[in-house]
Structure 1
Amino acid sequence: MNVAIGGVSAHLPPTLVADREIEERIARRSPGFTPRPGAIGKLSGIRTRHRAAAGELASDLAVAAAAKLLSEKGWGVEEVDLIVFASASQDLIEPATAHVVAAKLGASCPVFDVKNACNSFLNGMQVAEALIRGGQYRRILVCTGETGSRVVRWSVADRAQFVDSLAGYTLSDAGAAMLLEASAGPGIFHRDFSADSSRWNVSSIPGHGGANSRDPVADGFMRGEGRTLMESVMRGVRPQLDAALARTGLSRDDFAVFCVHQVGLPHLRVFLEGSGVPEDKLVVTIADHGNVASCSLPLQLSLALESGRCGPGDKVAFIGLAGGISIGVLFAELPS
């Protein structure tokens, strides 16, 4: 028995925010500091980001994507055996946001959350595949909703704090969903995950826990050393990808597309230079859609399918890069 990707869908809130609007908001909220015009675009390569509506939660974005996917498949939610909410964002500390998603969808199946920064969705796929292969479930809905715009620091004291907060200015809101199901045909055929947890503090959102949770300056805001994070990740990507290709007897040319987590165009260029992945195999979403965190990989696959860049019988690669630090490589063949 294999585990096939039965469908994928993404939801992008229609409201778009450009660099200029972000820079103006920072200037209004930051006495004594004004970003240099065009600085965010130059540093990130992002033109626009999506913004959830006021009061719209991570669960709402996940539900929008999941409902769209189920409708496209012609299935009712009762045909799903398990719901996994796999996201960096969440509605509540307790209970699991998966319960909120299930209630909004009208589902009565078991649920739980998977959380691992921007690799949450890829780890959700990993867990779902293992549960299906183990015979516990036959069809699992993995979904995510990201509301990264809620962890952006708008008031900064100086340039140093602006740079430390830059990762937040790349963040975008989105939802995504994927159905994984037992199949006698092709499906996921390789998966490999690694972590360098000694670098957990390179990128973080302090608060709602023990570490730094009483620092009102730091709490709840995205912070990070983008260059250090990318350098740390890239040291492990090439060896892990090369090993995955060697184990499967495949080359980069055997894949229709590579879905790679994207945080900024400069980082993506570094990835291309270091990974050996051909540029024409990428689905570039970062410039127009921003850093959608764990939605990045399913969004790219959804867009690639819609545009005809991949289809039945094609092999697709997922490469997850996340703070923590963690790397994930997963290969799948799309069902015919």
Structure 2
Amino acid sequence: MSGSRIASRITGVSAHVAEHAMTVEQVEARVIASSEGFTPPTGVLGRLTGVRSIHHAGPDTQASDLAAAAATRTLSSLGLEATDVDLLVFASASQDLVEPATSHIVADRIGARCPVMDVKNACNSWLNGVQVAEALIGTGRHERVLVVSGEMPSRAARWDVRDVAQFVESVPGYTMSDAGAAAVVERAGAGARGEIVHRWFGAESRHWSVGQLPGGGTRHPRDLDKTFFVMDGARLRQAFDSVDVEEIHRALKADGLGVEDFVAVAVHQVAMPYLDVFAERLGLRRDLVVETLPDHGNCASVTLPLQWQQIEQRRLAQPGDPVLLVGLAGGISVGTMAVRW
């Protein structure tokens, strides 16, 4: 990293899952109750994914509400007001509206008076939001950026299922949770706690069609049947297997790091069996990987800040320890970021 670049640190991360918990057995029961003549195999969701429970927000809750709640909590924990922030980034797969940017709604909710923008890249949205914040701080353009996320995948779950094929392609929607997160990224001196000491991002975009939420864009602007998650699980696994993990190792090495250096690792999680496979491919000590999927489901881009919060609450890292964040997202996108705890 150039010596002229301004260092950034992540501070005050907070995350929360929505209030209504559902076991996967309750999820399966809802599919049965909503479908005519289709019954999924008992316990199939748990067996496929390792998820035990998920969380849904109420019908009146919006993605911006979850983000604003997390933002208020984070700012309060740091003794800051919304007016102390000079950029707000809403970084999420979910959004309140196609237009305007959901960041405007969050800013209005919390009383921020700064520029805003949305950053969207599936489950890597929050990590990319931090990337954008660090880059803008590095140029001297901003000093303190609030990065927020509000995920509402429950609105895209298909409950009325006609057959096995439709159920299989809809499975991801049944194991995802509504959640919110926020973090402050700010200018810092080299060596500060929370300093970002590594970042790398890659993509295998030829796999973009593997998982989709097709509705609402120019391809399917008004087709209600396209407003549900669809995913080919087998192709998704193949797509992530195509990621060259050696690129990650080379990027870490360029910043003087190796996977053996980290005391805790946050990894985006879709299914426990694949988490085991990916950790082995990357050479991560499995006991250092923070697990959130079984009890909280797939929280989309809130997964990494939720795991950050658990590292903090469980004291899995001490001041100065290196902690690794690994983002995996539809598209296909991969990203790594390391911080000095």
Mapped contact 1:170–1:264 kept (Cα < 8 A): no
The one-letter amino acid paired with 2:234 is: R
Kept after mapping to 2: 8 A contact 1:8/1:69: yes
Structure 1 residues 256-315: Cα deviation after superposition (integer angstroms, max 9, x where no partner): 211110011122122122221111111100000000000011110111011100232121
Determine which of 235, 256, 261 is the counterpart of 1:254.
261
Which whole-Å deviations, capped at 9, do the CAs of 1:83-117 have from their partners, x for residues lacking one?
A: 00000000011100000000000111111100000
Task: Provide the residue aligned with 2:277 in structure 1.
Answer: 270
The 1:56/1:215 distance shift into structure 2, 3 A limit, reads closer
Which position in structure 2 is the counterpart of 1:4?
9
Deviation at 1:133, TM superposition (A): 0.5
> For residues 145 and 214 of structure 1, what CA distance do their matches in structure 2 show?
24
- 1:181 pairs with 2:189: no
| Unaligned stretches of 5+ residues in structure 2 | 1-5
Shift of residue 180, structure 1, vs aligned partner? 0.5
Equivalent in the alignment of 1:132: 137
Equivalent residues, number: 333
The 2-side partners of 1:237 and 1:284 are apart by: 23
RMSD: 1.3
Cα separation, 1, equivalents of 2:8 and 2:241:
29
Displacement of 1:212 in angstroms is 4.0
- The partner residue of 1:143 within 129, 142, 148 is 148
Report what 1:15 is aligned to.
20
- Displacement after TM superposition at 1:215 (Å): 4.3
Deviation larger for 224-233 or 126-135: 224-233
Q: Does 1:329 align with 2:336?
A: yes
Question: What SS does the aligned partner of 2:242 have?
Answer: helix
Which of 79, 85, 88 is equivalent to 1:80? 85
* TM-score calculated relative to the size of structure 1: 0.96
Tell me how far 1:230 sits from its aligned partner.
2.5
Q: AA paired with 1:4?
A: R
- In the alignment, the residues of structure 2 paired with residue 232 and residue 214 of structure 1 have an alpha-carbon distance, to the nearest angstrom, of 29
Query: Aligned residues: percent identity?
Result: 47
Alignment-derived partner of residue 33 in structure 1:
38
**What's the CA shift for 1:213?**
4.2
- Decide whether the 8 Å contact of 2:18 with 2:55 is kept in 1: yes
Are 1:66 and 2:90 matched, yes or no?
Answer: no
The answer for the alignment partner of 1:234 in structure 2 is 241
Once the 2 structures are TM-superposed, how far is the Cα of residue 227 of structure 1 from its aligned partner? Answer: 2.6
Q: What is the CA deviation profile of residues 164-211 of structure 1, one whole-angstrom value per residue up to 9, with x for unaligned ones? A: 111111110100111100011331122111111111110000111122
Which amino acid in 1 is paired with 2:302? C
| SS in structure 2 of the partner of residue 107 of structure 1 | coil
TM-score (norm 2): 0.95
Q: Is the 8 A contact 1:173 1:292 kept in 2?
A: yes
Query: What is the rounded CA distance, in whole Å, between the counterparts of 1:269 and 1:176 in structure 2?
Result: 25
Aligned letter for 1:194? G
| Aligned counterparts of 2:262 and 2:155: Cα–Cα separation in 1 | 36
Aligned counterpart, 2:306 = 299
Greater displacement, 233-242 / 24-33: 233-242
The partner residue of 2:61 within 56, 64, 83 is: 56
Matched-pair contact (CA < 8 Å) for 1:244–1:329:
no
